[in-house]
Structure 1
Amino acid sequence: MTPYEALSLHLQEEPRRWLVTGAAGFIGSHLVERLLSLGQTVTALDNFSTGHRRNLAAVRLAVGEAWSRFRLIEGDIVDESVCREACRDIDIVLHEAAAASVPESVENPLKYHATNGTGFLNILVAARDGAVRRVVYASSSAVYGDDPRLPKEESLSPKPLSPYAATKLFDELYGRLFEELYGLPTVGLRYFNVFGPRQDPRGAYAAVIPSWVSLLAAGKEPVLYGDGGQTRDFCHVDDVVQANLLAAVTEGPVTGQVYNVAGGTSLTLLELFEVIRSALVDRRPEVAGLGLAKRPERAGDIRHSRASVEAIEKALGYAPLHGVASGLDASLDWYLRNP
C-alpha cells in the first residue's frame, strides 16, 4: 500500500474539517471532490473571479450524497472578516485562492500583491486565531526564475522574474514565519505546470496543454511564444491533490518547509505539441496538418523548468501517478467535451 493509499484510509477513519480557498477553481474543485469522496467535511471559499460555478456543479454530481457535507462561502480573501469566518471550526486549510497569470501580474502588480500577498496573510492570521491545525498553501515553480541549474531543488536561491512569482515567494516567507513565530504549522507546495480536467483554456491559469488542445480541436493553429525550445515539467492535477493531502496530514518534521510538486521530467514545448497532436489524431484526423503560430517570447516567462521531487518523496511519500502521456489520456475527453 502506498503512503497516499494509506492516507486515504486514515482520513475515512478519522475525518477532519477542511477549508479550501479558491474552491471553484481548477485545482480547488478537485481538492473538494477528493475530500468529500473520502468522507470529509468541507468549507469552500471563492469570489468567482476566476473560478466557475460549473466546477462545483460537477463536483456535486460526482460525489452525490456527500455534498451534504459541503458549505460555500462566497467572498474574497482580501477581506479579513471573510477569512475569519471561513477559518472558524476548521482543522486544516488548503489555500489555493490566487491571481495566477504571469503576464497579467506584469501589467497589474498591485492586484497581485493584494490577492496573493495580503490575501494569504489574512488567511494565516485567521488560521492562527482560529486554532487551525495546519495550513497547506500553493506556491509556484516561478519563484526559481531563470536559474540555469537543473533540476530545480528547493535549496536554490529564489530569483522571481515577475510580480506573480514575487508574491509566491512572499507567501513562503510568511508561511515559515507564522510557524516559527506563532506555532502555526504550514507547508508550501511549489507547483510546476499543472494540467487536467476543469482547466479553463481561457482562464488566468491557462496552461499550454488545455489551450493547445482546444485550438487544435477547433482546427486552429496554437500560438507558440518563443522558439519552442523552452522546457516544462508537467504535473497532472491528481498528483497535486495527492501532494496536498499528504502535506496536510503526514506527521513528523514536515512542516515549515516548501516542496516541489511535479512529475520530475521535462519536455520542450515543441515535443509537447507533437504529443498532443498525436493524441488527437484518432479523434480529430484534421489536426495532422496543423502546426504552430509563432510569436515573440513574453516578458517574465521562464526558459527551462524541471523539478527535483526527491524532497517531497522522502518527506511525504509522494509518488507521481501520471506522466504527460497518461495524464493527457486521462484528461483529453474532458478537454474535447468542454472546448
Structure 2
Amino acid sequence: MTNKILVTGGAGFVGSHLCERLAQDPSNQVVSLDNYFTGSETNHVPGVTYIRGSTAQIDELIDFTPDYIYHLGEYSRVEQSFDDIEKVWEYNKQGIFAVLQFCRKTSAKLIYAGSSTKFGDGGLGRSQSPYAWTKASNTELVENYGAWFNIPYAIVYFYNVYGKREIAKGKYATLIAIFTEKMKANESLTIVSPGTQKRNFTHVDDIVDGLVMVGENGYGDEFGIGSPESFTILEVAELFGGKIEMLPERKGNRMTADVVTDKTQALGWSPKRKLADYISHLKENNWIK
C-alpha cells in the first residue's frame, strides 16, 4: 500500500533530509512543495517529485490526496523577521490557513513544525519577534482547527538544527554553518551579545528520526525534538576554538528555552548525535561538512 506524502519546504535544510528519508521507503510516494525562498535545487534528492509554489496556493498546485502533510515550509528566522514582516505574514499566516483548509478537504494528517521559541524565557519568547508570534499562534490555530473539523494533527518543535545542507552564507545562515565557514576562512567567530544565551543544538538526523516517528504514531501538541544538552553561544565558539568578536545585542534573541521532549521520547525517540562530536569531525576533515 502506497503512502502519499507531501512535504512543504522539501527543498530546504530540514525538509530535504526528511524527503530523503521518506523516499528510501519504496511504499512512500513523496512530493515537495517549496517556494525556494531559502530552499535550493541543490537540495533535491532522488525519488522525490518537486513542485515550485507557495503553500497559500496548495489547493491549486497539489492534484492528489496526500495521506500525510509535513508542513515545514514557513519563514523561520528570529532576528531577520523584524525586517521581513511582510514575508513572515504571507508565508506563516496565509500559508497555514490554506494548508489547514486542504487538510480538511483531503482528510490528510498534518504534522506541523512549530517553533521552540514558544517555550523561550519562561513563555515570554512566543511574542519576542514576528516570527515567534506567528509560529506560536499557528500552533493554537492547528489545535483549534483540528478540534473544530476533526482533522488529525501532530505539532513538533525543533531545537537549533545543525548538519549537512545547513545554510552557510547570507542573512539566513545558521550558527554552526556560520562558524564552520569562518573557521575555514580563518576569521573571528562573531557572537551576538551577551553570548550567554543557551541553545539546545540538535542534529538534523535526530530531527528526522523524530519527525518520522511522530508522523506515524503521534497525535496532538508538544512533540519536542531537541537535544537535552545545552550550550551557550560562547561555549560553542570555544568548541570550535576560534577567535571571538562580540556584536551588539539584537531584538528577539531569547536567552533560554525549555526542551519539551517527553511525548516524543514516549514514542521511542531519543537523540543519538552530539554537537561536540560533530565539530570534532569537522575539524578532523579540515572544516569540510
Counterpart position of 2:101: 125
Secondary structure of residue in 1 paired with 2:256: coil
In the alignment, what sits opposite 1:6?
Answer: none
Q: 1:327 to 1:114 in 2, by over 3 A?
A: same
The offset of 1:199, in angstroms, is 0.5
Matches of 1:130 and 1:104, distance apart in 2: 34
In the alignment, which of 154, 166, 181 is matched to residue 187 of structure 1?
Answer: 154
Conserved? CA contact 1:96–1:137, under 8 Å: yes
| Residue equivalent to 1:142 | 117
One-letter identity of the residue aligned with 1:53? E
Offset from partner CA, 1:205-251 (integer Å, 9 cap, x none):
5221111111111111121110321111111001111111111111x
**Contact kept in structure 2, 1:199 and 1:205, CA below 8 Å:** no
Count the aligned residue pairs. Answer: 288
1:93 matched to 2:69? The reply is yes
Q: Secondary structure at the match of 2:55?
A: coil
Q: What per-residue deviation string (whole Å, max 9, x for no partner) do you get for residues 22-54 of structure 1?
A: 011000000110011122210110111110100
Matching residue of 2:239: 275
Determine what percentage of the aligned residue pairs are the same residue. Answer: 27
Query: Structure 1 residues 221, 177: CA separation in 2 closer, same or farther (over 3 Å shift)?
Result: same
Residues 329 and 98 of structure 1: CA distance in aligned 2, closer, same or farther (over 3 Å):
farther
For residue 77 of structure 1, report the CA deviation from its aligned partner. Answer: 1.2
CA distance in structure 2 between the aligned counterparts of 1:335 and 1:94, rounded to whole angstroms: 35
Which residue of 2 is the match for residue 326 of structure 1? 277
**Is 1:111 paired with 2:75?**
no
Deviation string 1:125-150 (CA, Å, 9 cap, x unpaired) is: 11210221x11111111112322xxx
Aligned to 1:236: 203
Moved more, 105-114 or 160-169: 105-114
Q: Residues 203 and 23 of structure 1: is their aligned pair in 2 closer, same or farther, counting only changes over 3 Å? A: farther
Moved more, 197-206 or 99-108: 197-206
Any idea what the Cα deviations from partners look like across 1:238-272, whole Å, max 9, x if unmatched?
1111111111111xxx4121222100120111111
Cα root mean square deviation, aligned:
2.2
State the AA in 2 paired with 1:198. Answer: R
Separation (CA, whole Å) in 1 of partners of 2:127 and 2:214: 24
Alpha-carbon distance, 1:174 to partner: 1.4
CA distance in structure 2 between the aligned counterparts of 1:92 and 1:193, rounded to whole angstroms: 25
Corresponding residue of 2:128: 161
Maintained 8 Å contact 2:120/2:257: no
Q: For residues 15 and 51 of structure 2, what CA distance do their matches in structure 1 show?
A: 14
CA contact 1:176–1:256 (8 Å) conserved in 2 = yes
**How has the CA–CA distance of structure 1 residues 188 and 333 changed in structure 2, closer, same or farther, with 3 Å as cutoff?**
farther
> Normalising to structure 1: TM-score of the pair?
0.79
1:1-339 to 2 correspondences below 5 Å: 15-39=2-26, 40-56=28-44, 59-60=45-46, 67=47, 70-79=48-57, 82-86=58-62, 88-132=64-108, 134-147=109-122, 159-202=126-169, 205-250=172-217, 254-277=218-241, 290-314=242-266, 316-328=267-279, 336-337=287-288
> C-alpha separation between the residues in 2 aligned to 1:183 and 1:291?
54
Q: Which runs of 5+ in 1 are unaligned?
A: 1-13, 61-66, 148-155, 278-289
The structure with more radius of gyration: 1
In the alignment, the residues of structure 2 paired with residue 48 and residue 273 of structure 1 have an alpha-carbon distance, to the nearest angstrom, of 30
**Which amino acid in the other structure matches residue 22 of structure 2?**
L
Whole-angstrom distance in 2 between the partners of 1:334 and 1:188: 37
Unpaired runs of 5+ residues, structure 2, are none
Change (3 A) 1:306 1:257: closer
The CA deviation string for residues 83-105 of structure 1, in whole angstroms up to 9 with x for no partner, is 45327221101111011121221
The 8 Å contact of residues 231 and 306 in structure 1, kept in 2 or not, is answered as no
- Corresponding residue number in structure 2 for 1:153: none
Give me the TM-score of the superposition, normalised by structure 2: 0.92
Q: Shift in Å at residue 178 of structure 1? A: 2.0
Contact 1:103/1:298 (CA < 8 Å) preserved in 2? Answer: yes
Q: CA deviation at 1:112?
A: 0.6
